[in-house]
Amino acid sequence: MFFATPLFSAALVMLTSVTALPQPEAGGLMGRQSSCPSGSYQYNQTACVACPAGNTCNGGSSTPQPCDTGLYQPNTGSTSCMQTQPGFFTNQRGSTTPFACPAGSYQPYSQQAFCYGAPKGRFQQQSGKSFLCATCCGWAATQDNNNVNPVNCTGSTPYAWPNSGDGCISSPTSCTRAATCAQAADGTCPGETIRG
């Protein structure tokens, strides 16, 4: 004699309601899947093509994936993007080369899509730098010259505090006036180096 329990009945209902998954046909769904190696993509489902520069390809896709902002890829056939280094940026997807931050700006972090402008009292004379230089005693850096070159304070306002955003002032300062306030060829600051 056969007695159905509620648990057995529920299991029997579940088993009878399961349908078989569709099986791929020869040359069908499975035949169209990409069999391209990593670093390439399947073009028009007919040929494997090397991934173009500025993109990555995992071999299983039909379209290259552009590198995001802050990343780039100069080579073809790549599976990953490279991070921009401090002092550089990429502000468009699919970049093949990073751009150096222009003079008057800096970028202290990697993988960035922009550069910071130098604030008052600080300057950067070179491109591609991750730091700023503080102005020297008797010199000022203002937005008037995009904070590229510090200005020698003269005339009726011959004084300036180092690393000050006040610009040239008429009141004497207690610091010793610097004869020059320029970065060295290697980028070394004449005074304090500001990072971050």
| Burial call 86-96: b when 16+ CB within 10 Å, e when fewer | bbbbbeebbbe
pLDDT at position 143: 74
State the pLDDT at residue 62: 87
Query: Does the pLDDT at position 9 exceed 80?
Result: no
6 has pLDDT over 70: no
148, two tokens: 């590229």
Give the per-residue pLDDT at 90: 98
Bridge partner list, 56: 65
Side-chain half-sphere CA neighbours of 112 within 13 A: 18
For 112-165, what is each residue's pLDDT tens digit? 999 999 998 999 999 999 999 999 999 998 777 778 999 999 999 999 999 888
Residue 165: its pLDDT value, please?
83
Q: What's the maximum distance between 2 C-alpha atoms anywhere in the chain?
A: 115
SS3 16: helix
95-106: average pLDDT:
97
pLDDT at 172: 93
Nearest to 122 by CA among 111, 112, 108: 108
More confident of the two residues 7 and 183:
183
The pLDDT confidence band at residue 192, using thresholds 50, 70 and 90, is: very high
First to last CA, the chain: 82
Q: Please, are residues 167 and 159 in contact by the beta-carbon 8 Å criterion?
A: no
* Per-residue pLDDT tens over the stretch 22-70: 333 333 333 444 478 999 999 888 899 999 999 999 877 889 999 999 9
* pLDDT value, residue 147: 87
Q: What is the pLDDT of residue 52?
A: 97
For range 162-177, the mean pLDDT:
91
> Which amino acid is residue 32, in one-letter code?
R
3-state secondary structure of 166: coil
pLDDT, residue 44, reads 86
Q: What is the mean pLDDT of residues 167-196?
A: 93
Report field, pTM of the whole predicted structure over 0.85: no
Q: Extract the tokens encoding 145.
A: 């010259």
Give pLDDT, residue 35.
77
What is the reported pLDDT for 58?
Answer: 87
